[in-house]
Every structure is written in structure tokens, then in C-alpha cells.
Structure 1
Amino acid sequence: MAGPKPVRGHLFIGHTHWDHIQGLPFFSPLFVPGNEWDIYAPKGMEGELQQTLAGQMQYTYFPVPLDSLGATLRYHELLEQTVAVEDALITSRYLNHPALTLGYRVEVGGATFAYVTDHEPHGRTQACGRGQAEGWHHPEDSRHLEFIRGVDLLVHDAQYTAAEYPSKIGWGHSTVEYLVDIACDAGVKRLGLFHHDPMRTDEQLDRVVEMAQERAARLGSPLEIFAAAERESIELAGRASRRMRAVGARPNLTPVPLPAELSPPTRGQRVALAIRHEPTARLVREALAEDGLVATEIGKLSELPLLAEEHPALVIIEHGPGAQDGMEYCRELRAMTQYDLHDVPIVLVVDATHPEDLARGYLTGVTDWLVRPFNPAHVRTKARAWMLRSRLRWSPADLPANEIDRIAALEELDVLRAGREERFDRIARIAARVLDVPVSAVNLINRDQQVCKGMNCEGPDILPRAISLCAHTILGRDVMVIPDSREDERFGDNLLFTKYHYRFYAGVPLRTSQGHAVGTLCLFDSRPRHLQPEDHQALEDLAVIAQRELQEIRD
């Protein structure tokens, strides 16, 4: 903290196990009067972040209580979401660990960095690094790959080797082999191996790094690999060097608040269980009870009074020989419209997962899998993540089927480096005036960014693709309209709505002469509204003009 004082800073905590927070009482800037710190961590189902941090600073353990620190502290509890801190966007994603844990992806100044602690692959057969040859069959592993895709620097848990993993299953950590494979697949540029096994010597750790480097070389990847170490400083290309701001300046440092409706699940919520193996059923019931959740047994599909009387927050079904066909059970539950289970997580308990089972399971509506053996802590953590995630009304757009060709077509236009241009600002101004909206923009969708080419007002030139509504628009052929975000389960908690207080969005794809959707002409309004047929036509007509301008740049 060599910059001017007092300072304002932001601390993001992956989870609150002691090995991840025990340094907090020794972080000297927290003791300086006038300093201000915002502290972020996963939102739990019981207990507040402040209480958790204060627990390790009780008199028995530490001479200075948390509320006696000199700095002003503010606490923020996160789900899977994106928060804006000054000009940085931080996206959080649940990890697979016995404690509720978040990884963070930071995007600022054209540089990207991902910090992923304590994460175990979901597909156990691929945990030893066989995923690249077979494909990442578990959708959560595919989702993890997309979370780290293309980052300039990835600092990731790599505690075990493949040889050590079989005796560590369920402990919540990655193998080096898995990490190298998924980082290569994701196009990561630099990889810092992190969360080293404390039993390793320096010489053993050097050998682990060499093994990882050799594996990346065999895969033909230029991935740079090193062991993360204390006091090491890394500067990323594209990121402007700057000191921390003085408190007096305080420009746009307030994080985006968590929407009020995203309160954690309350104690007493019901979980429906269809588990015939009594030892497993007892373990799951007792684990859920620790969080105040009520487990109720459900039997045959014809005997489901629970689902008719109370909407369960989670359904857990046993699948396999001697139990039942859990996938068919899941399919029929999803089809029972009288129970409205389309948004409820349904999890299968199995002894092993195979690629063909995973493919069939997700087609029938399975949310995830609990693979035996598992312990109560694992059940509690997974249940929290499933239930908390299901309450967040937003998800990133899928990639178009022709993504590789689409990106090639966009790069061929050679328009990304030019920034905003008057010709596109003009189109946005006309669209805003004709369609009576406060904001209109011409946006292009790159690999991991939304790039603004024109806007009728001041606004961000670059946003992460993960929060882009236009990234959803390019998946279709027609105008995409969100009449009222507060009533839309798909997008209600998207950062663009919660931060800027928009309610309405409409966008039309912009296509190249080959038909590739490379961007959009879009509209925003703070009022809910519907587009009339003549409005649709006007938006499409202006989109044609924008498409011609893009083509002229190429020609």
C-alpha cells in the first residue's frame, strides 16, 4: 500500500476456511484510520460475512476485535454475478469444494485475470487429465472452461497429481494434469499453479512445474506455466499501471448491489428425496438438516402430495441398479406441469458417471450429480450452490454454432481497433430519436467482449461478453425484445438492468454478406414497453444501414 493515504480498496475472498482468511488480521491497511475497504465473499445460508470474519478475531484467538480496526469496512455477499468496481468488472462463479466457494474473473483495461482456489473437477473420470481427448462431458466442467477461457493469467488450485488423486476424491482440489488440459483447451496464456500441497518440498514442487510444462508442450500449447509464490508481482499487458486512489476522489467505486429479492434460501425450505438406499438417505437428510432444510421422502410418481402442496427448493433422486431409473423419474417430473418444476434443481445420486449417462441425463432435465462416496459437508455445499444459483435470474449467452466462422468474419471486417465512429454514433442517434428511447447503440460481439462502435450518449466502450444482452440477440434471426426485465426470468438480474436501472431492451442482429451475425443495433429504456410493428420495421431498416456501413469499412 505504497500509494497516497487514506486509500480505498476491495478484497475478494473465495471462501472462509481459515487457511484463506487467517492473514486478514495481519493486513496492516485495515488498521489505518481513514482507509476504506469493501470485502466480498460468497453469500451463505446462515451467518453473515462480518460475523464469520469476527469469529477468528475473538479475544481467545486475537487481541484486536474486528470492530476495533481503524479502517472503515463494508461487507458484500455474492452469488454468481458480475459486480463493477471502478472500471473493473469482476464475475463470480461457484467452484466445487466442500465449502461454498467462488472463483473470480477480473476484466479491466483489456486484461483478464482469473483467481480459482479450491476446485475439484466435477467429472471424476476426467480429473486426471483425460478430458481433452474425450471432451468435457460434465456441463459444469464445460462451464468452468468457459469461465477461464482466454484469460491472460489464471491462478488455479493444483494441489494434487493424478497419482495422488484417487485417495483425495471429494476433498475439493484439482490435479495438475486436469488443470493443464483444461487451461490449454481454454486458450489461457499464463498459468500459475496455486494451493500447493503443504507436504511438498521446493524440489518436489519444481518437478511438478516441469511435469506440467512438459504436458503442455506435448499438447502443442504455448501455455506458460509457473508456480505461484508469495511476494511475486505480475504485470499484465493491456492494463494501465496505477496506484490506489485517495478516498477523497471516490469516482464510481460503489459496487453493484445485490438485488433485494436474491436473499438466501430460508431455513425450513423443503427438499424432496427419492433415495431407496437408507444409509445414503440418512446421510443426506442429516446434512440438509444442518442448514435447517426439511427433507421429505417422495415415492412413486403417482404418490407426490408434497409437490402438490409445497414447491420444493431441490429434488434429489437416486439412480442406478437396485434403485430406480432416476433419469426417467426426472423426465416425468419435468413433464408434470401441475408441479411447476421447470426451475427447480433436480440432482441424481449415482455410484459413477459415464459420458453416455451424462448426455442422456441432461436431456431429461438433470441439473447435476452426487457421486458416491460423498460426505455430509459435500452434500451441504452442493445443496447451497444449487439452491442459491437457481435464484439468480440471469445466465450468459450460449456460443453460436458457427462461432469460429463468425469470429473470422468479424476479424475480416477489421473494425474492432477503431473504437467508436461518428457514422455509427449517427445511426444510434437516429434510432434513439425515431424510437423514443434514451439509449441506442451499435455493438459488435468479439470472442469475450462486447465492443461499442456507436452510441447516442456516453457509455462503456467495452463490456464482458458474459453480461452482454446483444450476445443473446445474435443467436436469433429476428428482433429480440425484453419488454420488462423485472418480469423476465432469463435476464432480470443482469448487470445492465440492475446497475443502469433499465427495464426494456430490443436488439436486431447485424450480419455480414455471408450471413454471420457479428453485432447488433440495440435499444434501452428505463420504462417497460412493447415495440409496435412499425417500430420493428424502423429498427430493422436502421440495422440494414448499419450493416452497409460495416461492409463499406471492409471494402
Structure 2
Amino acid sequence: IKFWGTRGSFAKPGPTTVRYGGNTSCVEVRADSGTLIVVDCGTGGHALGQHLIAAKSSVVKGHMLISHTHWDHIQGIPFFAPFFDPGCAWSIYGPKGLSHSLRTTLAGQMEHSYFPVSLSQFAATIQYHDLVEGAFRIDDVNIVTRYLNHPALTLGYRFEADGATLAYCCDHEPHSSALGSGRLPITGIDRRHVDFISGADIVIHDAQYTASQYAESKIGWGHSSPEYAVRVCQDAGVKRLILSHHDPLRDDAAIDRIVEEIRTRLRKEGSPLEVEAAAEGLSLHLSGDPKSLPERSKAHFLAETPINIFSVTRPALLYLADSAMSAILSEAIKIEGIPFRVMADDKALLRGVIENSPSLVLIEHNPPRIDGLEIARAIRRVEGDGKIQVPLVLVSAGSHPASLESGIATDWLIAPFNLSYARTRIRAWALRTAIRWIRADIPVDENRRLSELHDLAILDTPRDDRFDRLTRIAAAAFDVPIALISLVDSDRQWFKSSFGLNATETSRDAAFCAHVVHQKKEMVVHDTLQDDRFADNPLVTGVPRIRFYAGVPLILEDGSCIGTFCIADTRPRELTTADLATLHDFRNLTLQEIKRKH
């Protein structure tokens, strides 16, 4: 790990910042295998780029992870020399918006009004990757992403490789402002932050404002105090904390004093936590037992999951008595392009939840005027067990309760907040909802597979009793309302036979069968509402409201998978080994009929 930029908000070169550095955020991370990852590209990215070009033989390929697109984290991108080298290939990753991709956002920052060079003038091969909360992998490095608390949509990154763990958390603010002092127990939503960095060997953490500065005038600005960073790292069992994102008004001597005060206190407490301040040129080496590498990333949702815009076309419901908060939230939701309804009372809100399957619910918690927590409990009772819960956010003035009831509120939004902050939080909540439907990956042999399918000349042919007989018997044999012979084309799944379903085709994006085609093996989903791949799929949330699915692949002699024989039900159910064998028999009979002239 090497630091090339440590400053926050604004670059501050000069004689008083020589030791810790004046460039804005940029960190180089390398795995022992040689995998190169650059985290953020503030003005420190210029020197790093020059360094990499000087050693080009070892940097043909690289990866850049952007925490968010505020200028102090991307100003170095137009000056990053490897992007202008046609011999280089880079992937750039960053948080996905609802309506704008990472590439679009970066292009806007380099628009001609602000800068003379555009993204299109990069000579290197550049690929852009939009990220949400979850996990993904770059070569041998497992990476977990988590939304941080900042006025712009911001991701923290947790890296797991070589038996060691590094967490990067710039920019982040306590969810409860009272925790900025570092004196109170970490509770409520802030426990999620502790969980994210839990057990890390090194945490690089935002520490822009002192606790007193934060409390006096910086609440809502999106940054932490060193005291808060220390407290969360202690609770998380972190070994080493690197304070970063130094305020441009803080000189080297001031940083020295902060670090010494923290170290003195930790020594008195007998804490094993090591603390130092990030400095340009500081290099750290992490080593561990690769066999002991945490498996946290495997338990997370895929961070590169495509966004399901269908999910955020459902309305958001608002129930607030405070006119100022209601006005800000209504405007924020409107700007984000999400339809919304303002509910008159709690009864109307409950009806709205039942009738509209909302994408988000925001309720004021200000008892006795509005007891948002009690209304939230009522909503959870209406939803019942075994159903996907609507994202439910309680809006309150001051701090949220120290103890949050499990499974009641998804999150809390604490006033005062401005329009920008409200938009960011709403976007994060909406994206968490939107990623509950995963499209199937494209098979590696897609071109050959489609060629074989089209050569059969079976698509869009009339109904055929040879196939209809099979789906009719299968529906009776398994006692299910739906049985299908599905052929997966380039952008659709077309049904050669459909029992119990009036449609002749659906979008490939929504097709369960597309997952079977990609995997080339059977797939059984016992309850779609409990499976993140399908919980918000339109075939689940809308007609025919599939709750159970089982499909087996139709594989030709050359190995091409052209579709499936599948069954579905509107209620959850199990499938025995004998049932699965019978489903394979129906698949084999279907393939025999396909081989004949149709």
C-alpha cells in the first residue's frame, strides 16, 4: 500500500504540508501476484501516473476504484499518464447512479466548459464498471463494497488478498452526530460501519475534522473525526488505523498533535490499536496466511449487478407532518426520477403499502405527533412472514434511538439535512431495492448457441401438439399450474409450448430460463421471494407471480444449450430427487421431438 495523496476537499501544497502532503486522495494497492489497484485519483494521481509510465513494463494493466465523483477524488484522472498510453488497459470502477453511469458522470466533469480534454481522447483501452453494494473480484483480490454516509453517493472498499484485509473509508460521517465525539458506544445504523471494517488489518479512514470542529459546524458535511474513526476501529477489532483525508487547513504540526493525543489516550486505555496519519510516500506491507483469508465477500450480493429500473418505477410513499422535511424529501425524490405519493394518514399509508408494493417508504418519527416506529411495526405485521420487506426509513430530528428493533426500520434519516444529502440517501435506498433482480450472464458460447438455435428454424413456428402434450402431462404430473418449453433467443425467451401461461414470449432479462442456459445445468428455486436473484423479477412481482421454478437445460449434441423444459408454481414448494429425474425425462423427450422435423 502506498499513499500518493492524503489531503481532503482541496489540494494544499506548501511549506506547512510537506511531511504529510498536499495532494488529494490517491492510494496504490498491489497484491503479491502483481495485481495493481488505484483507489481514488485526486491530484496525487498525477505523480502516480508518472511513476507507472516510468515502469511501464509492469503496468500494462491496472484497475482504478473511485469512491465517489467529488472533484478531490477524481481531479487526477485527466492527468493520469497511463490513460493516454495506447499500450495500457485499465478498468475504472465507481458507484452507479439511478439515471447516470459512472462514465457519463466522469465525462460531465471533463466537459469542455471545465476542461479541454475529454474522456474520448484517452488512448488506452478503458472499461467502465458501475458498482452497487456487494462484492466482486479483481484477479486474486476479493472486494466488498459498502455505501458510506456522505452527501454524494460514496462507496467504501474492503480488500481481501494474500491472507490480509484492508478497508478504505473516505468520505464518511457518523449516522448519529453524537458519535462524532468518539466517547459514546457505537450503536444503531453505525454498527453497520463497524461490521464493514470488522477484523481488518489496516483501515484507511476519513478524519477531516476534530470532534469539536465537527460538533460546532461540520455536521452534515460528510466527514468523520479522528475520535470517531478510533472508536469504530476499536469496536471492530482493527489492528491498525491510518487517518487520512486531512483538512486543507490543517498543517503538519496540527496532524502531529492529533496523532500524539490519540496515541497517548490509547496507551492509557491499554488499547492494542495502532494509529498513524497518512503521508505522501508512506508505504505499508501487509502479509498473512492466504489460507486464513476471510470469506466475507462470498456472502455478499454481486457489486456489478445490473440495475433493475422496474423496481424504482414503483412509487415511494411519504408520511410526514413536518412541512419543511416533507418539501425537501418530495423534491429529492422527484429529482431522482422516482414517482411518489404523500399519504394523508397512517391508515392511507398502510393501504398504500398493500396496494402499491412501494419502492420506498419514508415516515416521520416524532411522537406523540407521529409515532413512526409504531407505524413501521404495523407495516411489518401487514407484510407478514416470508415476504420481502419494503425499504422503510424513519425520519427524525436529532439522533436516532440507541437501540434499533431488528427487522423494523431499514434505516433512519436524521434532520437537519439538505437537498443534496437527501438525494444521496434516497438514491442508495432505491439502488438497494433495484438490485434484487439479477439478469443472467451471457454464455461464453453465445454466438454458436444462437447459430444452432436459428438453424433449427423452430422459433415463431405454430403450436405443435407433440410439444403441447409434454407440457400438459408435466403440469399434471407435478401438480403445477405452469409448464413450458422455453427457447432463449438473443433478447427474448420464446415458448414453443406453454401450459398455463397465455404469453408466447418474455424479455430475456426477466427469464429464469436464461440462468439455466448460462449454467447448462438444472436450476430449482423453491421460493423466489427468498432468492435475491428473483425477488424483484417482474414475473414474480407481477403476473404470473412465480414463487417456485424448476428448469432443466435443452442441450444439443454439440453442447449448445438452446433453452429449457421448466415448471413453475404460484406458491413455494420442494422438488424431490425423483421429481427432478422425471423433469429430466420430459427434457429428453422434448429433445427427441426437436430432432424430428417440425
Q: Cα offset for 1:239?
A: 8.6
Name the counterpart of 1:406.
none
Name the counterpart of 2:497.
none
Q: Does 1:204 align with 2:254?
A: yes
Aligned-pair identity in percent equals 43
Work out the CA distance in 2 between the residues paired with 1:268 and 1:56: 28
Q: Cα offset for 1:151?
A: 1.3
Residues 153/176 of structure 1: CA separation in 2 closer, same or farther (3 Å cut): same
- For residues 123-272 of structure 1, what are the structure 2 equivalents within 5 Å? 123-131=176-184, 134=185, 136-138=186-188, 140-166=189-215, 167-238=217-288, 258-260=304-306, 262-264=307-309, 268-272=313-317
Q: Cα offset for 1:203?
A: 0.7
What 5-or-longer segments of structure 1 have no aligned partner? 241-255, 395-481, 495-502, 505-526, 536-555
Work out the CA distance in 2 between the residues paired with 1:333 and 1:269: 17
Q: Cα offset for 1:341?
A: 7.7
- For residues 99-498 of structure 1, what are the structure 2 equivalents within 5 Å? 99-131=152-184, 134=185, 136-138=186-188, 140-166=189-215, 167-238=217-288, 258-260=304-306, 262-264=307-309, 268-304=313-349, 305-321=351-367, 323-337=369-383, 342-353=388-399, 357-359=401-403, 361-363=404-406, 365-393=408-436, 483-484=524-525, 487=528, 489-490=530-531, 492=533
Residues 362/342 of structure 1: CA separation in 2 closer, same or farther (3 Å cut): farther
Residue 127 of structure 1 aligns to a residue in which SS?
A: helix
Q: Cα offset for 1:358?
A: 4.4
Q: Cα offset for 1:387?
A: 1.8
Q: Cα offset for 1:340?
A: 9.9
Work out the CA distance in 1 between the residues paired with 2:353 and 2:414: 25
Residues 220/338 of structure 1: CA separation in 2 closer, same or farther (3 Å cut): closer
Residue 63 of structure 1 aligns to a residue in which SS?
A: coil
Residues 384/309 of structure 1: CA separation in 2 closer, same or farther (3 Å cut): same
Residues 276/203 of structure 1: CA separation in 2 closer, same or farther (3 Å cut): same
Work out the CA distance in 1 between the residues paired with 2:384 and 2:199: 43
Q: Is the 8 A contact 2:134 2:303 kept in 1?
A: no
Work out the CA distance in 2 between the residues paired with 1:25 and 1:364: 45
Work out the CA distance in 2 between the residues paired with 1:196 and 1:6: 29
Work out the CA distance in 2 between the residues paired with 1:341 and 1:282: 31
Q: Is the 8 A contact 1:181 1:216 kept in 2?
A: no
Work out the CA distance in 2 between the residues paired with 1:180 and 1:338: 40
Work out the CA distance in 2 between the residues paired with 1:182 and 1:340: 33
- For residues 505-520 of structure 1, what are the structure 2 equivalents within 5 Å? none
**Deviation per CA, 1:110-165, whole angstroms, max 9, x where unpaired?**
1111111010111222221123xx3x221x31121121112121111011111111
Of 113, 124, 128, 1:75 maps to: 128
Q: Is the 8 A contact 1:274 1:297 kept in 2?
A: yes
> After the TM superposition, which parts of structure 1 deviate over 6 Å for at least 4 consecutive aligned residues?
338-341
Q: Is the 8 A contact 2:131 2:303 kept in 1?
A: no
Bigger Cα displacement from structure 2, 100-109 vs 41-50:
41-50
Q: Cα offset for 1:258?
A: 2.8
Matched residue pairs, number?
Answer: 395
- For residues 81-100 of structure 1, what are the structure 2 equivalents within 5 Å? 81-100=134-153
Residue 181 of structure 2 aligns to a residue in which SS?
A: coil
**Deviation per CA, 1:217-236, whole angstroms, max 9, x where unpaired?**
23322222111122322221
Bigger Cα displacement from structure 2, 331-340 vs 191-200:
331-340
Work out the CA distance in 2 between the residues paired with 1:331 and 1:149: 30
TM-score computed with the length of structure 1 as normaliser: 0.65
Letter in 1 for 2:341: T
Work out the CA distance in 2 between the residues paired with 1:211 and 1:265: 52
Q: Is the 8 A contact 2:110 2:117 kept in 1?
A: yes
Work out the CA distance in 2 between the residues paired with 1:323 and 1:268: 31
Q: Cα offset for 1:5?
A: 5.8
Q: Is the 8 A contact 2:315 2:341 kept in 1?
A: yes
Q: Cα offset for 1:75?
A: 0.6
Q: Cα offset for 1:101?
A: 0.4
Work out the CA distance in 1 between the residues paired with 2:193 and 2:336: 27
TM-score computed with the length of structure 2 as normaliser: 0.61
Work out the CA distance in 1 between the residues paired with 2:576 and 2:288: 40
Larger radius of gyration: 2
What 5-or-longer segments of structure 2 have no aligned partner? 1-51, 291-301, 438-522, 536-548, 551-565, 568-573, 581-598
Q: Is the 8 A contact 2:162 2:287 kept in 1?
A: no
Name the counterpart of 1:407.
none
Residues 55/484 of structure 1: CA separation in 2 closer, same or farther (3 Å cut): same
Letter in 2 for 1:294: P
Residues 337/152 of structure 1: CA separation in 2 closer, same or farther (3 Å cut): closer
Work out the CA distance in 2 between the residues paired with 1:145 and 1:339: 29
Of 10, 15, 18, 2:68 maps to: 15
Q: Cα offset for 1:493?
A: 9.0
Residues 57/205 of structure 1: CA separation in 2 closer, same or farther (3 Å cut): same
Residues 268/82 of structure 1: CA separation in 2 closer, same or farther (3 Å cut): closer
Residues 227/531 of structure 1: CA separation in 2 closer, same or farther (3 Å cut): farther
Q: Considering only aligned residues, what root-mean-square deviation do their CA atoms show, in Å?
A: 3.1
Letter in 2 for 1:487: T
Work out the CA distance in 2 between the residues paired with 1:318 and 1:17: 30
Work out the CA distance in 2 between the residues paired with 1:146 and 1:273: 30
Residues 269/483 of structure 1: CA separation in 2 closer, same or farther (3 Å cut): closer
Letter in 2 for 1:382: R
Residue 204 of structure 1 aligns to a residue in which SS?
A: helix
Q: Cα offset for 1:55?
A: 1.9
Q: Is the 8 A contact 1:158 1:194 kept in 2?
A: yes
Q: Is the 8 A contact 1:94 1:100 kept in 2?
A: yes
Q: Is the 8 A contact 1:155 1:194 kept in 2?
A: yes
Residue 341 of structure 2 aligns to a residue in which SS?
A: strand
Letter in 1 for 2:205: H
Letter in 1 for 2:366: G
Q: Is the 8 A contact 1:343 1:390 kept in 2?
A: no
**Deviation per CA, 1:508-552, whole angstroms, max 9, x where unpaired?**
xxxxxxxxxxxxxxxxxxx9995659x9xxxxxxxxxxxxxxxxx
Q: Is the 8 A contact 2:163 2:288 kept in 1?
A: yes
Q: Cα offset for 1:280?
A: 1.5
Name the counterpart of 2:592.
none
Residues 341/311 of structure 1: CA separation in 2 closer, same or farther (3 Å cut): farther
